[in-house]
A and B are shown apart, each in its own frame.
Chain A
């Protein structure tokens, strides 16, 4: 199948190619596993895609690692064809070093830190109240 360039894609399909996370295998509740996929924008998230470019496992394994894989060669191809990455894919690629860091990654980290600090402060306050 010939992959059309972005201009022709827009005219023919009325949409564009997107690199996004698609849930794989709806057979288990509470156990997500994503495929990083090049698909048309209008298709269902878990529906028919053009090509699979990698995987992302959001739950950490016994060594406390989240495994992500990318097929950089094909990602380069699709990005060259005018595909748009979604926010999560852009964040992952930024962490991997393929894209520059997504600004929301930094903001997210700061928010996490603020929340953790707040939690610590409230725990300390509770302990003091218990003692006093």
Chain B
């Protein structure tokens, strides 16, 4: 029996707002990714290494320009560069997975056998920000909708069929070459932030980074905040803290621990810290007293 099934999709911004408010109402005390406090901590941890942010990227060949500047002008130029770097380091949204909308608007069994192919109707009205999308026969998932949106409203850099690099085997190869950042950039261009593919790719990237301890690859890029948030939610920050301490980033480690306590206020270390009213290095000592994974590591405190 053939079905006419139609999905109506609402405005994306409205949908994202709805999701955020719904998440808020469920666990109102739990801080979300978009909270200003959380964002502040994450941007501090990301760091601002100008050399890495403005490293040479493949682009159009241009002759280098040389300028003669006074000290003040040089400082000004550096300030401008750091402003630009902050814009470049803007973190992409972390959203829960989008559920496929499965509204069957009408089922007409008398239309069975009409045609061998499905009909897909798209609304291309100018001022509707996200288009009404209807289809003739039973549709599956979000991926098809993304593909059709790309057909009628193409975004630069996106392809209709996703790159082969996002398949499991190819991802492993890319990770062995330490090119996590490129994968994440490509993923950002290709997928919507709330599609399952995006979340899967990010998860596998972060897992791989965590396993090998290669956190420094993402430091000073826009993906570091996402990595930190994922690890905090998965309660596996130990590796990251150790890495920070090894590189003498004490402040970053302290802010990471405070973020962890913000997000998981009922964990043992958070309660211990609240009891002792610990700040700074004391906070770290409290946290490291409760290792969550059984991996053994030795840290020398001075």
Contact = CB atoms under 8 A, between A and B. Distances in A.
Interface of A: 54, 60, 63-74, 92, 95-97, 101, 105-106, 108-110, 112-113, 116
Contacts of A96: 119, 121, 134
B113 A68 contact: no
B124 A67 contact: no
B125 A113 contact: no
Given A69-B121, A95-B121, A116-B113, 20 more contacts: A60-B116, A60-B117, A63-B118, A64-B116, A65-B118, A65-B120, A67-B148, A68-B119, A69-B123, A70-B121, A70-B122, A71-B123, A72-B132, A74-B125, A92-B121, A95-B136, A97-B121, A105-B114, A106-B110, A109-B112
A58 B249 CA distance: 62
Given A105-B114, A108-B114, A72 B123 contact: yes
Contacts of B134: 96-97
Contacts, number: 80
A76 B120 CA distance: 20
Contacts of A73: 125-128
Contacts of A112: 113-115
B112 A71 contact: no
19 contacts: A60-B118, A63-B144, A64-B116, A65-B117, A65-B119, A67-B122, A69-B122, A71-B124, A95-B4, A95-B121, A96-B119, A96-B121, A97-B105, A97-B121, A97-B134, A105-B114, A106-B110, A108-B114, A113-B112
Contact of B6 (A63, A67, A92, A97): A97
B54 interface: no
A112 B122 CA distance: 26
A97 B119 CA distance: 12
Interface in B81-121: 105-106, 108, 110-121
B12 to A, nearest CB: 19
A121 to B, nearest CB: 15
A31 B114 CA distance: 22
Contacts of B128: 73
Interface in B160-176: none
A124 B22 CA distance: 58
Nearest to B132: A72
Nearest to B123: A72
A109 B114 CA distance: 4
A96 to B, nearest CB: 4
Given A97-B106, A97-B134, A105-B111, A66 B122 contact: no
